[in-house]
Amino acid sequence: MTDKKYILSMALAEIKNRRNMAKAENDLHFQEIDKNIPEIAEINSQLARTGMNIVAIMKSGENVDEKLQELKDRNQEAQFLIKRLLVENGYPEDYLAIKYSCDICFDTGFVNGRRCRCLENLIAKMTAKEMNKNSQINLCSFDTFDINLYRGTDMMDTERKRNRMRNTYQQCKKYAEEFNPLLSENILMFGRTGLGKTHLSLAIANEVLKKGYGVLYDSALNYLNKIEKEHFGKASDDSDTLGQLLSADLLILDDLGTEYTKPFYISTIYNIINTRINKGLPTIISTNLNHEEMLKKYDERIISRLFATYESYEFVGEDIRLIKREMKK
């Protein structure tokens, strides 16, 4: 369950904290410069009286435009002088400028009365974190992926399968290291159960989350059940699971093909795949179905998009879970 009002309040609190932190850091910079470069402190003191000078000019009523222009010119000269003094003393010329984390809204969260992109991104990440609470994202990493667990029918077959899985592992690790929601490709992982599809997709999720991106991970069946309840008014809250899936930086759908073959599910799967392709957002899908089984279960619209726009990785070998049990014995 994701409480929209709660997440919005948390996001706004984070934006406010960012602004306060930027101002606090700026105050420290001013204190440092006041101590180390007294000339700048004096100039800033003069600039601080600008408002009072403007009021005095307006009250006098004499040559107002001319005097305001003179005041403006003096202030600009003072700003140039401050920058020169900063550089001469080994500081960046913008050392006294507030460094907001967002240079669009200046850490207010809004631009012209509308939510800034930084606030929308923060809401999306917080929502994703809430939705991922019950997933196993933190339980897998690339370090715990063991190529030696992959076996074939004989030594040559074992080596062939290990080489293929080693290549898949390396490609997935590279994908996670270089992830960019605007550039990364879609991935289709397929193969029998127990071959590490979930492990590697979770390892990718783990690394991408560390980069600060929003990742949604769950089984296709769980997501489809939530979307169905929300669509037909059976959900107990005002969550928008479909909306979150369509906009996440990275969406990982595990176990596609385990869901019931219902028209609503099929159309929803197509909507998710097609919309994210159109938005240029990457998706990782894992399935226990092979190509022939997928052709039987899904219509041409889904199949054409998966095979044409997804990089396919086939997982091969024997069920690793069974192998681990044998090793324990």
Phi, psi of 286 (to 5 degrees): -115, 145
Report pLDDT for 201: 93
Report pLDDT for 123: 82
Mean pLDDT for the stretch of residues 206-225: 89
Sheet strands side by side (includes 215-219): 215-219, 250-256, 283-287, 186-190, 310-314
Side chain identity at residue 284, one-letter code: I
Distance between CA 218 and CA 285 in Å, rounded?
10
Please give the span between the terminal C-alpha atoms of the chain, in angstroms, as a whole number: 41
Q: Is the pLDDT of residue 209 over 60?
A: yes
Q: Are strands 110-111 and 114-115 parallel, antiparallel or unpaired?
A: antiparallel
User: 285-312: per-residue pLDDT in tens?
Assistant: 999 998 889 999 998 999 999 999 999 9
58: pLDDT confidence band, cut at 50, 70 and 90?
confident
In contact, 128 and 244? CB cutoff 8 Å: yes
User: 150-205: per-residue pLDDT in tens?
Assistant: 998 899 999 999 999 999 999 999 999 999 999 999 999 999 999 999 999 999 99
Where along the chain do its domains lie?
A: 4-118, 132-328
Report pLDDT for 1: 46
Q: CA 56 from chain center: how many Å?
A: 51
Beta strand spans in 134-204 (E)? 186-190
> What tokens were used for 56?
């005095």
Helix H or strand E encompassing 84: helix 64-88
Distance between CA 209 and CA 213 in Å, rounded?
5
Report pLDDT for 329: 62
Report pLDDT for 3: 65
Report pLDDT for 50: 78
Q: Is the pLDDT of residue 320 over 70?
A: yes
| Residue 174 DSSP SS3 | helix
In contact, 226 and 141? CB cutoff 8 Å: no
| Residue 25 DSSP SS3 | helix
| Residue 189 DSSP SS3 | strand
Q: What is the mean pLDDT of the chain?
A: 88
Helix H or strand E encompassing 273: helix 263-279
Side chain identity at residue 104, one-letter code: I
Q: Is the pLDDT of residue 136 over 60?
A: no
Identify the CA nearest to 7 among candidates 99, 145, 125: 125
Residues 132-328, CATH architecture: 3-Layer(aba) Sandwich (3.40)
> What tokens were used for 174?
């590279």
| Residue 323 DSSP SS3 | helix
Count CB atoms within 10 A of the CB of residue 323: 17
51: pLDDT confidence band, cut at 50, 70 and 90?
confident
- Which residues partner with 189 through β-bridges? 286, 313
Report pLDDT for 72: 85
59: pLDDT confidence band, cut at 50, 70 and 90?
confident
Q: Is the pLDDT of residue 2 over 60?
A: no
Report pLDDT for 236: 60
